[in-house]
Amino acid sequence: MLIKECIFSKQIRLKTEMFLVLSSLLFLFSHSALSGPARILWEKEIPSEFDSRIWGVDITDDGGAICVGEIGTQDDEITSLYLVRINPDGSVLWERTTGWGLATSGQDVIQVSGGFAVCGSIFSGTVSNGFVAKFDNFGNVIWCREINNINDDVLFDITETSDGGFVAAGYTESTGAGGKDFWLIRMDSGGYLEWSRTFGTSMSEAAYSVAALQDGGFALGGGSSGNFYIVITDSTGIGLNAFSFDNGGHETAKCLIESAEGGYFLAGITMQPGNYQSDILLVRLAASGDAIWSITIDGDDNDSAWDAVEPGTGGFAVLANTMSSGRESYDAVIYRLDHQGNIIWELNAGNSFWNTGSGLAISPQGHFLFGGRTWTEEAGCFVPWIVYTIPEDLLNW
């Protein structure tokens, strides 16, 4: 009787194990069959005589693109802000070049009511000041607010608040605890400054991303003391908490997202001690700041993550630049992740020369848009580069 019970128990265990294996294979098969990657619908190189690039992008209500960056001149120290609107088919609707100082650079752009909001920096010849400007739907300047300070200050990221105002984040060397500090400003819908806040230590900190949180507060992501650094504030910009994520090397977060699943997702760069090769670091944090998971994409050459979005179908998409896998120069790549950080697909873009992406956006229909720069032999310089994809074929998880 004991022998029969043992045999019966063994049969149940074997059937259970076989069922789990078959279920896993069925999941993997259905997952791969229904998870087709996005593919390039069109890409656009904007002619330029001197080194120029796109830094920030957003998808417009008509399914096209608004992109901001800088146009160079023969003098490498002088640039003008470059703003271009692209139709859904990839043709240029209009482009504008604006300069408010010796060098003006647009770092990020978002579509807002009545036009577009841009943030960046203006170099006057002695220091850089952060600015926020609003353009109408035809690219005409409605207003520009330059925040004059003592030392260098830059705004890298802008987002709209629930009341139609703006918050922008970057770094300041003019005020704060010392060196560079996280810098967060709040403006009303007319561009008038409501408040300015700094966060940091005696070391140097720089915020590259800001998110307007569902509770009305704000989250900033960047780097401090070689670690990912996150600051959480209330709706008035008063600091509530700060988190640091140490991957054992020198890390900087280039993008922060408040995840629909709760907590935060950060994408950036890591470099381990004694290794001059950069790798991609992706981190998922709980609202408490505790790490849920972290992923390092460590190729055989330099790699870095620059921006990320959270598609409505779940998971994340990361815009990165890579020299790995035998490349002689950089290519831009989109990595598509599930909510556990597993790579589902990747999309490589670029010609046989140098290509890098800086800003990423996604439409409600699932089109990915990114902008950056690409080298062309015809121009002999870097020119603004914009890539637009068809939606991924992702039916379920």
Are residues 113 and 59 both part of a single domain?
yes
Q: Which tens digit of pLDDT belongs to each residue from 215-242?
A: 999 999 999 999 999 999 999 999 999 9
Q: Is the pLDDT of residue 18 over 70?
A: no
Contact criterion met (CB below 8 Å) for 207 and 222: yes
Are residues 73 and 107 both part of a single domain?
yes
Residue 125 Cα distances to 73, 97, 144, 173, 186, angstroms? 16, 20, 19, 16, 26
Are residues 302 and 250 both part of a single domain?
yes
Are residues 106 and 7 both part of a single domain?
no
Predicted TM-score of the model (pTM):
0.89
Reported confidence tier of residue 77, pLDDT bands at 50, 70, 90:
confident
Rounded percentage of the chain residues whose pLDDT exceeds 90: 78
Are residues 172 and 278 both part of a single domain?
yes
Residue 124 Cα distances to 70, 142, 243, angstroms? 16, 21, 35
Nearest in space to 74 (alpha carbons), one of 57, 111, 49: 49
**Cα–Cα distance between 163 and 235 in angstroms, integer?**
12
| Residue 377: Cβ-neighbour burial (10 angstroms; 0-12, 13-18, 19+) | exposed
| Residue 16: Cβ-neighbour burial (10 angstroms; 0-12, 13-18, 19+) | exposed
Q: Is the pLDDT of residue 147 over 80?
A: yes
Reported confidence tier of residue 101, pLDDT bands at 50, 70, 90:
confident
Mapped onto helix, strand or coil, the DSSP state of residue 312 is coil
**Cα–Cα distance between 136 and 189 in angstroms, integer?**
13
The amino acid present at 10, given as its one-letter code, is: K
Reported confidence tier of residue 35, pLDDT bands at 50, 70, 90:
low
Which residue's entry shows tokens 């802000």? 81
Task: Check residue 3 and give its pLDDT.
Answer: 31
**Cα–Cα distance between 191 and 132 in angstroms, integer?**
7
Contact criterion met (CB below 8 Å) for 256 and 243: no
Task: Check residue 19 and give its pLDDT.
Answer: 37
Q: How much is the average pLDDT of 159-182?
A: 92
Q: Which tens digit of pLDDT belongs to each residue from 84-98?
A: 999 999 999 999 999
Total domains, the chain: 2
Task: Check residue 395 and give its pLDDT.
Answer: 54
Task: Check residue 288 and give its pLDDT.
Answer: 95
Compute the mean pLDDT over every residue in the chain, rounded to the nearest whole number: 89
The CATH number linked to 262 is 2.130.10.10
Contact criterion met (CB below 8 Å) for 387 and 43: yes
Are residues 357 and 250 both part of a single domain?
yes
Are residues 45 and 172 both part of a single domain?
yes
Q: Is the pLDDT of residue 396 over 50?
A: no
Q: Is the pLDDT of residue 377 over 80?
A: yes
Task: Check residue 286 and give its pLDDT.
Answer: 97
Are residues 246 and 109 both part of a single domain?
yes
Are residues 7 and 119 both part of a single domain?
no
Are residues 57 and 122 both part of a single domain?
yes
Rounded percentage of the chain residues whose pLDDT exceeds 70: 90
Tell me how crowded residue 74 is: count the other CB atoms within 10 A of its CB.
Answer: 7
Nearest in space to 184 (alpha carbons), one of 226, 242, 104: 242
Q: Is the pLDDT of residue 205 over 50?
A: yes
Q: How much is the average pLDDT of 136-164?
A: 94
**Cα–Cα distance between 182 and 198 in angstroms, integer?**
5
Are residues 165 and 56 both part of a single domain?
yes
Q: For 239-275, b where at least 16 C-beta lie within 10 A, e where not — what string?
A: beebbebebebbbbbbbbbbbeeebbbbbbbbbbeee
Q: Which tens digit of pLDDT belongs to each residue from 179-203?
A: 899 999 999 999 999 999 999 988 8
**Cα–Cα distance between 280 and 295 in angstroms, integer?**
8
Lowest-pLDDT choice from 17-21, 101-105, 201-205, 244-248: 17-21
Task: Check residue 178 and give its pLDDT.
Answer: 76
Q: How far is CA 217 from the centre of its chain?
A: 20
Contact criterion met (CB below 8 Å) for 279 and 362: no
Q: Which domain holds residue 217?
A: 40-394
Q: Which tens digit of pLDDT belongs to each residue from 262-311?
A: 999 999 999 988 888 999 999 999 999 999 999 999 888 999 999 999 99
Task: Check residue 202 and give its pLDDT.
Answer: 85
**Cα–Cα distance between 178 and 337 in angstroms, integer?**
38
Q: How much is the average pLDDT of 3-22?
A: 35
Are residues 193 and 315 both part of a single domain?
yes
Alpha helix positions (H), 119-214 = none
